[in-house]
Amino acid sequence: LDFSPLVLDAGRISDEEIQKRAGHLGTAATLIAIKHIFDKTYQEYTSALEPMGADLDVRTFESVLEYFLIYRGIEDPDLARIIGEALNRREDMPNVIEKWMEAGREEGLKEGLQKGRQEGIQKGLEKGLQKSIEKFLLKTRLTPAEIASTLDVDLSWVLEIEKSLEKPPG
């Protein structure tokens, strides 16, 4: 391949010029969002996008807003709502926030299921290992120290199991 990369320094071009030359409102909004992502406050970011905010299609609006929220690590739905209102998109904010919250619920559910699965596996392994130790203690002549060493488990755990076997069930 023989080509030079195309580089656009949007910082050197005014927002009005970007909007004029982009030819498509969504493209202009995306370029302006990228240009202003380092602005110090969300007000500076939204004021750059405000002139076209009400005219953006829902998908582009959501993308520009999510880009800012994710990049800045904003998790406060109230602040997201304020930003949406600054972009004259009050009617679309429930959709964006609901989508955002749904994604959080799904992620939490996945994490919960994974953690529950791991805990279940761990408990199952511990129970199986405990049964094996009980059998060793009852049927072999190995000492608790030998069992702990053979199974590579803590001796105190083996002693605890041995002690529970000595107690009559009650």
Q: pLDDT for 16-58, tens place per residue?
A: 999 888 888 889 988 998 898 888 887 888 888 888 877 888 7
Distance, CA of 158 to CA of 134 (rounded, Å): 9
Phi-psi region of 25 (alpha: psi -120 to 50; beta: other; left: phi over 0): alpha
Between 7 and 84, the higher pLDDT residue:
7
Task: Classify each residue of 54-83 as buried b or exposed e, where b means 16 or more C-beta atoms within 10 Å of its C-beta.
Answer: eebeeebbbbbbeebbeeeeeeeeeebeeb
Instruction: Indicate if the pLDDT at residue 101 is higher than 70.
Output: no
Between 123 and 140, the higher pLDDT residue:
123
Per-residue pLDDT band for 14 (boundaries 50, 70, 90) equals very high
